A and B are shown apart, each in its own frame.
Chain A
Amino acid sequence: MEPLLKLQDYTIRFATPDGDVHAVTGLDLDLAPGEKLAIVGESGSGKSQCWMGVMGLLARNARVSGRAMFGDRNLLGLTQRQLDAVRGAEICMVFQDPMTALNPVLRISRQLTETLEVHRGAGRREAEKQAIAMLERVGIPDAPRRFRQYPHEMSGGMRQRVVIAMALLTKPRLLIADEPTTALDVTIQAQILDLFQDLVTETGTSLVMISHDLGAVAGIADRVAVMYAGRIVEDSPVDDLYERPAHPYARALLQSIPRVDRATADIRPIDGRPPSLADLPRGCSFAPRCGYRTDACDAAVPPLADIEPGRIAACFHPVHRHTAADSKGSRT
């Protein structure tokens, strides 16, 4: 099937007075229609910037190169006007912090209906009808009354539901969610994730769920791409990744999260720190923290290679054949 979105040699640099910062380096990624992809990585791995770039929302000092093909259009080469016809209509985004994502001086109604008016040419009455229906769909009780309120009259979870409703109103083909639950209470987090799952399945929208939490995305995604220092290091179906991670970083990440089926003593934090994006190592970025490091790792960046059908990883020493209890782990 023709991919919905195809990133090719996609690179983002930020020009700073102290030199270039490489947020994303030579990324290749395909996303199929209806597919649910999770992007996982630590903060600073470039996972958010990567998708901000697709939306044309990067800071002014960003330099983007490569291609981001959405159908037959390269999103990186569109004029402002062409881009505005895509975002909000065919690609929508849900942001991390619902407390600041909504305009404090405009009513919810105004902020919801305007996308329909701009992109679908809907009249006010029709737009309001659809917007209220969508609010009900995302689980806002008493939607017609809430519709007339201002953001500050709602709780964080409620606002995030509004933001989700706003993103889905135009029935986009791709929904990007940038850590949509990080700023919320734990009890609300699960509800919002469930909501995503329901809505995405129901509408057939492709989903990109950006998260630093492997556990949180397990239930939603078909496929997980693990990012480290601006590159994808492993891209696997979700079950494979959880059962038999191939890249040592993916494995270390898995071991660093608490799981109900394992003793707390088995939780292992990852030693060391991610490299500076202004000064990336010549070889594998994860090598300095890796228990499987060899001279080859320092000499060159390992290319993303097929390791199994449908799985790719960028590692000279993939670990997916080791058992989970392998003593070497990520520690030395």
Chain B
Amino acid sequence: MLAYVLRRLATMIPVMFIAITVCFFILRLAPGGPFDGERPLPPTILQNLAAHYHLDKPLIEQYLIYLGNVLTGDLGPSFIQEDFSVAEQIAIGLPYTFVIGGLAFFTAIIVGVAAGVLGALYQNKWPDYLTAAIILIGLILPNFLIAPILQLIFGVELGWLPVGGWGGGSWKYLVLPIAVLAWVHAARISRLMRGSMIEVLNANFIRTAKAKGLGERLIISRHAIKPALMPVVSYLGPAASYLLTGSLVVEQIFGLPGIGRFFINAALARDYGMVLGTVIFYMVLIIFLNLLVDIAYAFLDPKVRTR
């Protein structure tokens, strides 16, 4: 098991390396260089930049220095904020993004798996059709369309929930962002789960379990759900990535002070340093989450674990 984790970790390192390299050179390839844009930068920031990127040195050396900085967690200075480095800004936004993203992630898994199992057990009966309809909404409506619709219904018309803001993290403020963020993933997970559950329920080993007289509840909970979860788990890696992109929109729409909002604002203000630093942070995060998913998969599939 440990060997498996280490092996996965070893394959992640070149990915991370390539990602950082690509980002660095994209920035340096920017027309006219990144630092003499159309807007003159304040002198303090120019000093920060020159000191951080060692602009007087050759490109290769700059790259190596940058690589070293990233590895030690230094994501460089912002081009606009004089007082905060990129890493500091990310640290400020991270808790909000983590709470929303993490809760949405688990909501999507729980709702998606439950809906998928329900759909498989009541194939072509009303619970199946009901979940299919809800899934369809999630698949058709992009999150930037679901969000205003839910705001309009639950915030404006019914007045049950606030339409935005953090509100000190009170659950009322979290419901809508999490619902918007989780919906599409719950929809996809339930589709995957329904399909694989139907397949598993027709498998020979389920027939064996029935022949053993285990009873439907035990068969479903012990014999069917675990193998049926495998395609769902392999979707969780990409899901983490999409959740992150989704959080860009959701934080913007609901006015949440997370990294996604910093990122969008920095990108709109053309703060190269902040954009690059955030992208690199995101990628490291995604790669790490993918590693976690691989480990979770190994727990489900003994063939992976014992190989």
Query: A: which residues have CB within 8 A of B?
Result: 55-57, 80-81, 83-89, 92-93, 95, 97, 100-107, 110, 114-115, 118-119, 150, 152-153, 163, 166
Contact = CB atoms under 8 A, between A and B. Distances in A.
Contact of B300 (A95, A105, A119, A153): A105
Nearest to B214: A118
Interface stretch (B72-80, B165-173, B202-210, B281-289): B202-210
8 contacts: A88-B212, A95-B207, A101-B208, A103-B209, A103-B227, A104-B302, A106-B226, A110-B222
B301 interface: yes
B303 interface: yes
A111 to B, nearest CB: 8
Contacts of B303: 104, 150, 152
Indicate the size class of the contact surface on chain B: 20 to 34
B8 interface: no
Given A101-B204, A150-B302, A166-B212, A118 B218 contact: yes
A115 B205 CA distance: 14
B226 A105 contact: yes
A104 B227 contact: yes
Interface in B214-231: 214-216, 218, 222-223, 226-227
B213 A57 contact: no
Given A88-B212, A100-B204, 16 more contacts: A57-B207, A57-B211, A83-B213, A86-B213, A87-B210, A88-B214, A93-B211, A95-B208, A101-B208, A103-B205, A104-B205, A105-B227, A105-B302, A115-B213, A118-B214, A150-B303
Nearest to A90: B213
Interface of B: 203-205, 207-216, 218, 222-223, 226-227, 300-303, 306
A134 to B, nearest CB: 14
Contacts of B212: 87-88, 92, 114-115, 118, 166
A55 B300 CA distance: 30
A106 B222 contact: yes
B300 A57 contact: no
Contacts of A102: 205, 208
Nearest to A60: B123
Contacts of A56: 210
A2 B136 CA distance: 59
A141 B242 CA distance: 50
A92 B215 contact: no
A55 B209 CA distance: 12
A92 B302 contact: no
Contacts of B207: 57, 95, 101
What are the 7 closest A-B residue pairs judged by CB atoms, nearest first? A88-B213, A88-B212, A100-B204, A84-B213, A87-B213, A150-B302, A103-B205
B306 A153 contact: yes
Contacts of B203: 100
Contact of A89 (B213, B216, B218, B226): B213
B211 A97 contact: no
B301 A105 contact: yes
Contacts of B301: 104-105
B302 A103 contact: no
Contacts of B306: 150, 152-153
A104 B203 CA distance: 11
A103 B211 contact: no
A109 to B, nearest CB: 13
Contact of B223 (A101, A106, A118): A106
A114 B205 contact: no
Contacts of A119: 213
A80 B207 CA distance: 14
Scoring B213, B223, B227, B302 by chain A CB atoms within 10 A of each residue's CB, the highest score goes to: B213
A171 B248 CA distance: 62
A114 B227 contact: no
Contacts of B216: 80
Most chain A CB within a 10 A radius of its CB, from B214, B301, B306: B214
B208 A152 contact: no
A107 to B, nearest CB: 8
A85 B216 CA distance: 12
Nearest to A88: B213
A95 B212 CA distance: 12
A247 to B, nearest CB: 31
B227 A87 contact: no
Nearest to B305: A150
Contacts of A57: 207, 210-211
Given A150-B306, A152-B302, A153-B306, A101 B205 contact: yes
A190 to B, nearest CB: 24
Contact of A88 (B204, B211, B223, B226): B211
Nearest to A89: B213
A160 to B, nearest CB: 12
Nearest to A97: B204
B120 to A, nearest CB: 14
Contacts of A88: 211-214
Nearest to B229: A105
A103 B208 CA distance: 9
A87 B204 CA distance: 16
Contacts of A89: 213
Contact of B208 (A84, A86, A163): A163
